[in-house]
Structure 1
Amino acid sequence: MDENIFIATPDHVSLEFEFAGPGSRFSAYLLDFLYSVLLMIALILLMLFTSAAGIRSLVSLLRGEGSWIASWGTALLIFMLFAIHWGYYVFFEGLWHGSTPGKRSLGIRVIRQDGLPIGFREAALRNLLRVADMLPPPCYILGGLVAHFDRHGRRLGDMVAGTYVIVEKFAPAGRSGAAWATRIEKGGSRQALTLPRGTVSPQQIGLIEQFLARRHDLNPERRDRLVWQIAEPLLPLLLEDHERVAQSPDRTARCEQLLLEIVELAQSNRPKSTAAKQPSPTLF
């Protein structure tokens, strides 16, 4: 299994992600399993003791009466357990963009293959296949074997949903992909910026703002590489000569100045009511 992967974002920035190892994934699963079991117990007790029919059924079962009640009750219980267990993962991974209480505790997260956060669709797909990954239940032997032989450590659910499980906790100025994937916007609250020869997307503006906010924390080599990756596709939009900027002895400073100009233009064109709602996306 590879330890890292580089993913080119829609804005032509190459980000590095570290795959989560089997130890952290299994530990996160155990925590989530414990939480889901506690949730199941709480819901079952709530249903039993808040329903007269539930209390009568429980009394009948304790007395050994009503075999048909026991059969239907067992079937219903099995269905409920599956629905709660499956729904737990879909709810949290969809709502928290690839995270669950267990994953959050271990510092790992699920992302799409393009580096963006997953939604409810991906969460539902990858967890529907959890039943197959658990074979033979509850050992996860099939899922473990598939993940072991896959170079990206994916189980069957990840392959179908097109997802990776990556490490989220990075050093402040080190590997940056996971944090970017968890917080970068999809363009809902920012507005695109129209330039002489094209448009700067809301996602690009978010990346630029975060880079400028953290550029002084980067070592010179990484700072130069990142600013060039962000600025290069924007040069034609600004009527800048690509070769001249690329060969400039002060390329980093020149690119940063161009990015600053883009941000200033974007902020001046942004309605105040929209600007006030901007959560800071993060590239780091």
Structure 2
Amino acid sequence: MRFLNRVSLSTPESVELDFTLAGIGNRTLALFIDYQILLLILLAFWLLWGLFTLGLFSVLSASNLNYSSLPWWLLGIAILLNFAIYSGYFVYCEVMYQGQTPGKRFTKIRVVRDDGRPVGLSQAVLRSLLRPVDDFCFIGAFFILFGKREKRIGDWVAGTLVIQEQRGDRMTALTISPAAEQLATKLPILADVTQLIPDDYAVVREYLQRRAKMTAKARTEKSMELARQLRTIIGLETTPPNTTSDQFLEAVYLTYQQMQDSSKDATS
């Protein structure tokens, strides 16, 4: 078994990202924590369902109606709701919290796609639906232990990886230059920034967070390549004068954040 297995991923924008895989220990601890939380949620559900069932039977008894088949229907509905809560817990957390459940947040691991982008709804649903298969006889643990990329069956089908969260992963670690802040105020006028999508933002953020760990040559090449591709997306022919590719990427990152903040304010 490998210790601290690392993997390099290439995004659709040809940005190389280096990650450390989560490993069986962190994943087991995260799952244990999540199952404790799920247990409390499901206990509350069955308690409320039991109270609902008793109340329903008392009403039907008073009305002298025949409800001999009703208990089986209620049991079937309860089992379906139980599975929906079980699966929905993982889907909701991984989609809403960038690949992290409470257990994964505690152990500092997260789910990403095979190309390093944030996990989406379809990936989270596939992982969650196949979790019972992975849990059966510890099949998933076997795949993680002996697989090259430490993937369980749900990861193979969904096209995801579970990685360790690194110190540079958080947005607060980013440093925006004054030149980029000035350009960010002009960028919506110079180009169509509404063409940016969350995946574009995620790739820019990943690069800005990890550029300090790159060699000067690799940083220059990736910065220029990424800037060129983003200019094509937003319809900007050339980088503004006296602006480096890094400053341009910082401005794109800041502009997207401001655009998202404006849309939230408009809907609130």
Instruction: Bin the TM-score by the shorter chain.
Output: 0.5 to 0.7
1:229 corresponds, among 222, 234, 241, to 222
**Normalised TM-score (structure 2):** 0.67
Instruction: Return the offset for 1:55.
Output: 6.6
SS in 2 for 1:134: helix
Deviations 1:45-87 (A, max 9, x none): 2233356535749xxxxxxxx9866655544443332221111
In the alignment of these two chains, the number of paired residues is: 230
Root-mean-square deviation (CA), in Å? 4.4
1:155 — aligned with what?
152
> In the superposition, relative to structure 1, how do residues 192 and 79 fare at CA in structure 2: closer, same or farther (>3 Å)?
farther
> In the superposition, relative to structure 1, how do residues 77 and 278 fare at CA in structure 2: closer, same or farther (>3 Å)?
closer
Amino acid in structure 1 at the alignment position of 2:23: G
Instruction: Return the offset for 1:132.
Output: 1.2
SS in 1 for 2:92: helix
Structure 1 unaligned regions, length at least 5? 58-65, 184-189, 195-199, 241-255, 280-284
**Normalised TM-score (structure 1):** 0.63
1:171 — aligned with what?
167
1:102, 1:129 → 2: CA distance? 18
SS in 1 for 2:244: helix
1:135, 1:24 → 2: CA distance? 19
1:209, 1:165 → 2: CA distance? 16
Amino acid in structure 2 at the alignment position of 1:171: R
Amino acid in structure 2 at the alignment position of 1:258: T
1:245 — aligned with what?
none
1:277, 1:99 → 2: CA distance? 26
2:43, 2:238 → 1: CA distance? 64
2:245 — aligned with what?
259
> In the superposition, relative to structure 1, how do residues 145 and 74 fare at CA in structure 2: closer, same or farther (>3 Å)?
same
1:265, 1:133 → 2: CA distance? 43
Instruction: Return the offset for 1:214.
Output: 8.6
| 8 Å contact from structure 1 (residues 86, 127) kept in 2 | yes
Instruction: Return the offset for 1:130.
Output: 1.1
**Matches of residues 4-153 of structure 1 in structure 2 within 5 Å?**
4-49=6-51, 53-54=55-56, 56=58, 71-136=72-137, 141-153=138-150
Structure 2 unaligned regions, length at least 5? 60-66, 175-186, 232-236
> In the superposition, relative to structure 1, how do residues 103 and 193 fare at CA in structure 2: closer, same or farther (>3 Å)?
farther
Deviations 1:5-59 (A, max 9, x none): 11122332211111101011011111111111111111222233356535749xx
Instruction: Return the offset for 1:133.
Output: 0.9
Instruction: Return the offset for 1:157.
Output: 0.5
Deviations 1:98-118 (A, max 9, x none): 111111111111111111111
| 8 Å contact from structure 1 (residues 191, 201) kept in 2 | no
Deviations 1:208-246 (A, max 9, x none): 8973x997xx37x63553233211465798779xxxxxx
